[in-house]
Structure 1
Amino acid sequence: MSAAPMETGRAGAPGSAAGLKAAVIDLDGTMVDTADDFTASLNGMLAELGTRPITRDEVVGYVGKGSEHLVRAVLSARFSAEECEALFGEALERYQAHYANVNGRHTRLYPEVEPGLAALATAGVKLACVTNKPHRFAVALLEQYGLAHYFAVILGGDSVARKKPDPQPMLAACDAMDVAPGETVAIGDSENDALAGRAAGMATLTVPYGYNHGKAIQTINSDGIVATLLEAARLIAGGTPGAQHLNR
């Protein structure tokens, strides 16, 4: 674990030894490996459009910016710009129909996710899930794994006007939890999560096992890399050296 020093803020505030009252946690690539769900749904869509299928590796390079971006990226690799625009509406509808049937079928929970959430809750840290996945799919997936009850707030890519990396959903989550962004840490697997968290004024932590648009995790400008959510919980709760740097 490496944590970069940050300006200290309200150290000792209720919630954790690091002075953090809340954590905003990403879903795809952070809590659940959903790449095979995306791949299956996209291939259903592509088969109906009569074009070549997609691989998991290609999908991983596109994931993280919402369904619209995902579908556009996949289409642009297979059709001309004009064809992409003409097909986009139909393709998105077909993709979402397939995803509704597939959601959670080909997924797996990453190691130490549930223990990490439990440890954060035990430490008195409020939790929000903020994802660019549509809200209904996010809720269904969290419920499938028995994780939904940990979260005071679940926001999807369609819950507010703008998606990550815009800070709007992060700020909306803070408002809903009645905490300040400076009392909150954003935890995710991609640059989008860190950018959104930083723009909102939050501390940021990154897990190394997700997608990050196919780029090395070390390229993300976050306050530290944590192996799992349980390690993040230990850091936030003050059990790991460097925890004092995770507040603003």
Structure 2
Amino acid sequence: MNAPEPLALSGIRAAIIDLDGTMVHTAPDFLVAINRMRSDLGLHALDIETITRFVGKGTENLMRKVLSVDYAADEVEAHFERALASYHAHYIAINGQYSTLYPEVHEGLAALRDKGLRLACVTNKPMAFAVPLLEKTGLHGYFDLVYGGDSLPKKKPDPLPLLTVCEEFGLAPEQVVAIGDSSNDAQAARAAGCKVLNVPYGYNHGESIHNVDSDGIVPTLLEAAHCISV
């Protein structure tokens, strides 16, 4: 299914915004931490394109995908806990050092806030990684709420995180738009009853964002703000 050009979305009171691949280009951080973990396990380094395809469904899924390059399913589980502990240690040590903000992220968040929208960041990244990254990039102050992949019993593409934000904000889902770079964001939004906009520059598991069911594709967060009205 081809995503339509972005529409004018009216009656929107809040925006739920993804982190990795939407606001921050974090793949270079993943590259460093994963390959340091793989070195600990005696495995060869992976390239950034391979790693990027694995991003989006949480750290546990990322580790299993990374290990599956070398191991069968039962062997993946045998190495999983050691790999996860190593990855956590390496990621915390370099979190944000190799990452960069995408264009017009600060401007877009400021424009959304100036329109009176409440903002939440919902990411599948663990909170121990997400909050320091938001603080390091100067983004944390824009958000009323931040939920990570370990904040709730389920993570995107399950709608629970988005529905929880709607409840916290006291808003109906149709008054909320989710903005993200992948099918995870779109599927969660559709299931929750929220509107959804996608950006074209993120990760989306190596697949085209144009095949994702959304209300439109916006080149930047600032452009997203331009097509949203309360």
Runs ≥4 residues deviating over 3 A: none
1:111 aligns with 2:103: yes
Q: Aligned match of 1:2 in 5, 26, 38?
A: 5
Alignment length, in residue pairs? 227
Q: Aligned match of 1:19 in 8, 11, 14?
A: 11
Q: Aligned match of 1:49 in 6, 17, 41?
A: 41
Aligned partner of 1:190 in structure 2 is 182
Q: Aligned match of 2:229 in 233, 237, 241?
A: 237
- For 1:97 and 1:177, how far apart are their aligned partners in 2? 34
The C-alpha deviation readout for 1:185-229, integer Å capped at 9, x for no partner, is 000000000000110000000000000000011111100000100
1:69 aligns with 2:31: no
How far is 1:3 from its partner? 3.0
Q: Which amino acid aligns with 2:118?
A: K
Q: Which amino acid aligns with 1:2?
A: E
Q: What are the within-5 Å matches in structure 2 for residues 204-219 of structure 1?
A: 204-219=196-211
- For 2:162 and 2:140, how far apart are their aligned partners in 1? 18
> Helix, strand or coil: the match of 1:205?
strand
Give the structure-1-normalised TM-score.
0.89
Structure 1, unmatched stretches of 5+, are 6-16, 239-248
> Looking at CA atoms only, which structure, 1 or 2, has the larger radius of gyration?
1
How far is 1:4 from its partner? 6.2
1:93 aligns with 2:96: no
Q: What is the percent sequence identity of the aligned residues?
A: 53
How far is 1:21 from its partner? 0.4
Q: Aligned match of 2:127 in 135, 138, 156?
A: 135
Give the structure-2-normalised TM-score.
0.96
Q: Which amino acid aligns with 1:3?
A: P
Q: Which amino acid aligns with 2:18?
A: D
* Contact 2:6–2:227 (8 Å) recurs in 1: no
How far is 1:237 from its partner? 3.0
> Helix, strand or coil: the match of 1:227?
coil
The C-alpha deviation readout for 1:50-69, integer Å capped at 9, x for no partner, is 01111110011010000000
- For 1:193 and 1:136, how far apart are their aligned partners in 2? 21
- For 2:93 and 2:147, how far apart are their aligned partners in 1? 21
- For 2:221 and 2:167, how far apart are their aligned partners in 1? 23
Structure 2, unmatched stretches of 5+, are none
The C-alpha deviation readout for 1:18-77, integer Å capped at 9, x for no partner, is 110000000000000000100100001100000111111001101000000000001011
How large is the Cα RMSD of the aligned pairs?
1.4
